[in-house]
Chains A and B, each alone.
Chain A
Amino acid sequence: MENEAILVCKNIVKRFGPVNALNGVDFEVRRGEIRGLIGENGSGKSTLTSIMAGMQKATSGTMEYKGKPWDPSTMAQAQEQGVCMILQESNTVRGCTVAENIFAGQISKFSRFGVINMKKMIREAQKKLDAFGVGRIRAGDPIDKYTFEDRKMIEIVRSVSDETEILVVDETTTALSFDARELFYGMMKNLVKQNKAVIFISHDMDEILKQCTHLTVLRDGDIIGHLTGEEMRLPGAPEKIRYMMVGREIGDAYYRSDYDTSHQEEVALEFQNVSVGEIKNLNLQLHKGEIIGIGGLSGCGMRLIGRAGFGLEKLQSGQVLKEGKAINDPLTAIRSGIGYVSKDRDTEALILSASIADNITFPSLDALSKHSFIDPRKEKKLVKQEVERYLIKCNTPRQLVSTLSGGNKQKVSFAKWTAKGSDVMIMDCPTRGVDIGVKQAMYAFIAQMKRDGKAILLISEELSELIGMADKIIILKDFAISGEFMRSPELKETDIIGSMI
């Protein structure tokens, strides 16, 4: 006997100009389920949920919520009625207190004769925070004091109330640390226990399989299929789901298939007694042809290592050496052959308003320039070579990067450094927000780089990625190395997690 459906969508179509984002989708959310939504970028997951949550209107189709027609005109209205969505981007108001953020839009509840009872508001906000298990966040503090992750939690606390019937989570968890995720999962389970429903969007297959009770797979605006909990637990389910998402066999060659951890003797990048930020006396040797993976919970300092390796951080002591040369700023780093793929793709790694060609050639301009002259033909040749190497999907290299999908953007930020001929690559979460098809291609590129004798520092929050790709995994905990693991077929996530927490 299936539970009662809270929200039913019938034949939802959404067009953006000539592009069909959704072609007549039928979708149901039932009480007591955590419904996973999975699909590649642009498959229509976010479009579908944002229509339910009142962020945009469908081109055609109908919806029913609790048996009545449902057509919310704003997100606030949907939230009031119990359909609430937590977005990918941060959505808190800077310069206000945590309490003001939590009760944004409802401040009048606490006002009497035009005077706001701050104390009461802060008390109420704190109660809510405590109930979610994040009591360490103090409601009276200014919000700017908190990290991106904490702000995300505050946002969640704000969105979810007693009236919430359906909670839509759009890739929120990628922003959260291990602890926060656990809290978050607990909250989802809690909602389900109260006979409410959760729609859960994520790129992370493991997370989906673990947390969801039901799964719907989307591809190119169509629903490809539904899986029940039992089907999801079957062996071979991940392969089946991947197949449904991509529409072709991904095969076993997802990660690196070899277990060859050999590398050249020559050291490509060395950290000598480096103290930076809260990291003290770090020693690390990266050899040519080696992939070193760095993992840990977010906030453990792994990003700092990558930034220090590229000369972006001021070292308190020690030095970063590339073939005997000290790296103190990005210019020296680039000139000596280091490339850096930043985690903040859209703000740090790419100039969104510039063309693909401009982005790719930017670090190479220094080298291309001859007696001040930069030959456009040389630029063009370089760009063509990189676009072909990575199969960047574009009409012309003059197209703006902002028009590309996440995966293709990431290809451009890889291409910048292969164009420059960098032989040391520092990659900070290189496959974040990238869909499976491109992910697989990225892994193939990284493996190829190793074969070409390049040295790679792979910083990642995904353990499966580190296990799948790295020769050696270094785990950080509270800004210090807490474990080292060599590549082997026997290495499992459970072996590593212990040294993370």
Chain B
Amino acid sequence: MEEIKNESKIKKAFSACKAYVRNHVSDVASYAGLVLCLIVFTITSNGRLWSNYNISVLLESVCVYMIVALGALFVYSMGYMDISVGAQMGVYCLLMIFIIKATGSLLLGFIVVLALTLVCGAFNGAVAVWLKLPSIVTSLFLMFLFGGIQYLMVENTGSSTVSTDYDFSLFLEPWMMVLGIVIVAVIVFYLFNYTKLGKYTRGIGANELTTSQCGVNTTKWKVIAYMAFGVCVAVGALFLLARTGSAGKTTANSYAMDIMLSLILGGMPLSGGMKSKVRCALIGSFTYALLSNGLVLSGVDMTLVYFIKAFVFMIVVILSCRDRSGLLPR
């Protein structure tokens, strides 16, 4: 008798477990992905993954990915996307170098960049609404525009890269990077969960019509969301420049797609909406950075890295697509 009871208890617990997994496929997949990466790379790199040197290298790349992905959360939770970020960051790095060279002030450079990101954010948010275009189109326009500017800026100097001797060591201190991530993460967490900004952007992603009928000026909040993203892009560009100290024609260009992949790996539905969580940006960008770092550490040929990334990406998409929340952005 007792045994039967126990058995049914176990069965119940098991089915509850199953139901939980079914309802949280993308969450579970994102955690599992991270853990799997950690385990596999620990083994394949013979433990070098955890060496002091590698951890600081990892931190440098995680820092940029995470800060930018946290900002991207606002835009992606609306179901929109911004593919101009890579080209923008390239230009911002160059711009900061030029301004430092001319004036010696990093602060001035950062402020100029910050102003620019806000303008671009407003452009992506507002122009898309005015012209009734999907915002991917305006961001496509910005991508080419900034790509061109970046090319011109480097070309005009006559060399293939531009660099600066400015002492960035403060920004390369591990505590500084961690502090940067924590500050941005806390602010984003607050904005995303406890203010109108986060609630409205998720609402827009889930059902824009209903959201606007609840008295939300969707145009205004789209612009604010893109601007919030812009601020994070500026901070991300600063840490990126600190890491490289130089910039060329294609610097940072892959960031737009990297950020998108990071969010997907973190379990973010690209159609945005209520399932968007801050956790998606944190886990996703960490997994993504780990993936790049771990593959190289394990001695995988650089040409193969892309194939492996493609493969991992497919698996994650298939897993998280199964809840049919719609993964593709508008």
Which A residues fall within an 8 A CB radius of B? 310, 312, 329-331, 333-335, 340, 342, 347-355, 358, 362-363, 365-366, 369, 372-374, 376, 416
Whether A353 contacts B209 by the Cβ 8 Å rule is no
What would be 27 A-B contacts, judged by CB atoms less than 8 Å apart? A329-B217, A330-B212, A331-B217, A333-B215, A340-B213, A347-B207, A351-B203, A351-B207, A351-B210, A351-B211, A351-B274, A352-B206, A353-B207, A353-B325, A354-B207, A358-B199, A358-B274, A362-B203, A362-B214, A363-B214, A365-B199, A366-B196, A366-B215, A369-B196, A372-B195, A373-B194, A416-B214
Question: 8 Å CB contacts to A: which residues of B13-56?
Answer: none
CB distance from A381 to the nearest CB of B (A): 16
- A349-B206 in contact given A366-B196, A373-B194, A374-B196 (Cβ < 8 Å): no
Q: Does B125 contact A (CB under 8 A)?
A: no
Kindly state the separation between the CA atoms of A374 and B206 in the bound complex, as whole angstroms. Answer: 20
Question: 8 Å CB contacts to A: which residues of B190-229?
Answer: 194-196, 199-200, 202-203, 206-207, 209-217
Complex contacts, A331 vs chain B, CB 8 Å:
215-217
Kindly state the separation between the CA atoms of A21 and B215 in the bound complex, as whole angstroms. Answer: 39
CB distance from A325 to the nearest CB of B (A): 14
Whether A353 contacts B274 by the Cβ 8 Å rule is yes
Kindly state the separation between the CA atoms of A312 and B214 in the bound complex, as whole angstroms. Answer: 11
Whether B196 contacts A365 by the Cβ 8 Å rule is yes
CB distance from B44 to the nearest CB of A (A): 39
Complex contacts, B211 vs chain A, CB 8 Å:
351, 362
- A351-B206 in contact given A358-B274, A365-B199 (Cβ < 8 Å): yes
Kindly state the separation between the CA atoms of A334 and B217 in the bound complex, as whole angstroms. Answer: 12
Kindly state the separation between the CA atoms of A330 and B208 in the bound complex, as whole angstroms. Answer: 14
Complex contacts, B215 vs chain A, CB 8 Å:
330-331, 333-335, 363, 366
- A312-B195 in contact given A353-B207, A355-B274 (Cβ < 8 Å): no
Which A-B residue pairs are the 9 nearest by beta carbons?
A334-B215, A331-B215, A351-B207, A363-B214, A362-B214, A351-B206, A354-B274, A330-B215, A372-B195
CB distance from A18 to the nearest CB of B (A): 10
Kindly state the separation between the CA atoms of A355 and B194 in the bound complex, as whole angstroms. Answer: 16
Q: Does B273 contact A (CB under 8 A)?
A: yes
Complex contacts, B200 vs chain A, CB 8 Å:
365
**Residue from A340, A347, A373 within 8 A of B209 (CB atoms):** A347
CB distance from A192 to the nearest CB of B (A): 41
Whether A352 contacts B207 by the Cβ 8 Å rule is yes
Kindly state the separation between the CA atoms of A271 and B214 in the bound complex, as whole angstroms. Answer: 22
- A369-B195 in contact given A348-B209, A351-B203, A416-B214 (Cβ < 8 Å): yes
B210 and chain A: residue at smallest CB distance: A351
**Residue from B214, B274, B275 within 8 A of A330 (CB atoms):** B214
**Residue from B195, B202, B212, B216 within 8 A of A373 (CB atoms):** B195
B217 and chain A: residue at smallest CB distance: A331
Complex contacts, A416 vs chain B, CB 8 Å:
214
A372 and chain B: residue at smallest CB distance: B195
Extra 8 A-B pairs, beta carbons < 8 Å, given A312-B213, A351-B210: A349-B210, A350-B207, A353-B207, A353-B273, A354-B202, A354-B203, A365-B199, A372-B196
Whether A374 contacts B274 by the Cβ 8 Å rule is no
Interface size, chain B (Cβ < 8 Å): 22
Interface centre among A348, A351, A362, A416 (most CB of B within 10 A): A351
Interface centre among A335, A349, A365 (most CB of B within 10 A): A365
CB distance from A309 to the nearest CB of B (A): 13
Complex contacts, B199 vs chain A, CB 8 Å:
358, 362, 365, 374
**Residue from B194, B203, B210, B217 within 8 A of A376 (CB atoms):** B194
B23 and chain A: residue at smallest CB distance: A400
Kindly state the separation between the CA atoms of A369 and B195 in the bound complex, as whole angstroms. Answer: 7
Complex contacts, B275 vs chain A, CB 8 Å:
353
Whether A334 contacts B214 by the Cβ 8 Å rule is yes
Complex contacts, A373 vs chain B, CB 8 Å:
194-195
B200 and chain A: residue at smallest CB distance: A365
CB distance from A259 to the nearest CB of B (A): 34
Complex contacts, B214 vs chain A, CB 8 Å:
330, 334, 362-363, 416
Complex contacts, B202 vs chain A, CB 8 Å:
354
A413 and chain B: residue at smallest CB distance: B210
**Residue from A330, A354, A365 within 8 A of B206 (CB atoms):** A354
- A330-B207 in contact given A353-B273, A365-B199 (Cβ < 8 Å): no
A369 and chain B: residue at smallest CB distance: B196
Kindly state the separation between the CA atoms of A467 and B215 in the bound complex, as whole angstroms. Answer: 32
Question: 8 Å CB contacts to A: which residues of B257-279?
Answer: 273-275
Whether B210 contacts A350 by the Cβ 8 Å rule is yes
Kindly state the separation between the CA atoms of A189 and B329 in the bound complex, as whole angstroms. Answer: 49
CB distance from A51 to the nearest CB of B (A): 24
CB distance from B119 to the nearest CB of A (A): 23
Kindly state the separation between the CA atoms of A45 and B192 in the bound complex, as whole angstroms. Answer: 43
Complex contacts, B206 vs chain A, CB 8 Å:
351-354
Kindly state the separation between the CA atoms of A362 and B216 in the bound complex, as whole angstroms. Answer: 9
Complex contacts, B273 vs chain A, CB 8 Å:
353-354
Whether B195 contacts A342 by the Cβ 8 Å rule is no
Kindly state the separation between the CA atoms of A154 and B319 in the bound complex, as whole angstroms. Answer: 40
Complex contacts, A330 vs chain B, CB 8 Å:
212-215
Complex contacts, B207 vs chain A, CB 8 Å:
347, 350-354
CB distance from A291 to the nearest CB of B (A): 22
A376 and chain B: residue at smallest CB distance: B194
CB distance from B192 to the nearest CB of A (A): 11
Kindly state the separation between the CA atoms of A350 and B214 in the bound complex, as whole angstroms. Answer: 10
Interface centre among B202, B207, B214, B216 (most CB of A within 10 A): B214
CB distance from A467 to the nearest CB of B (A): 29
Whether A348 contacts B210 by the Cβ 8 Å rule is yes
Complex contacts, A376 vs chain B, CB 8 Å:
194
B212 and chain A: residue at smallest CB distance: A330
Kindly state the separation between the CA atoms of A365 and B207 in the bound complex, as whole angstroms. Answer: 16
Complex contacts, A348 vs chain B, CB 8 Å:
209-210, 213
Complex contacts, B209 vs chain A, CB 8 Å:
347-348
CB distance from B219 to the nearest CB of A (A): 11
Kindly state the separation between the CA atoms of A334 and B211 in the bound complex, as whole angstroms. Answer: 12
Complex contacts, A351 vs chain B, CB 8 Å:
203, 206-207, 210-211, 274
Complex contacts, A333 vs chain B, CB 8 Å:
215
A368 and chain B: residue at smallest CB distance: B196
Interface centre among B203, B207, B211, B216 (most CB of A within 10 A): B207
Question: 8 Å CB contacts to A: which residues of B65-109?
Answer: none
Whether B213 contacts A374 by the Cβ 8 Å rule is no
CB distance from B187 to the nearest CB of A (A): 11
CB distance from A423 to the nearest CB of B (A): 15
Complex contacts, A312 vs chain B, CB 8 Å:
213
Question: 8 Å CB contacts to A: which residues of B160-214?
Answer: 194-196, 199-200, 202-203, 206-207, 209-214
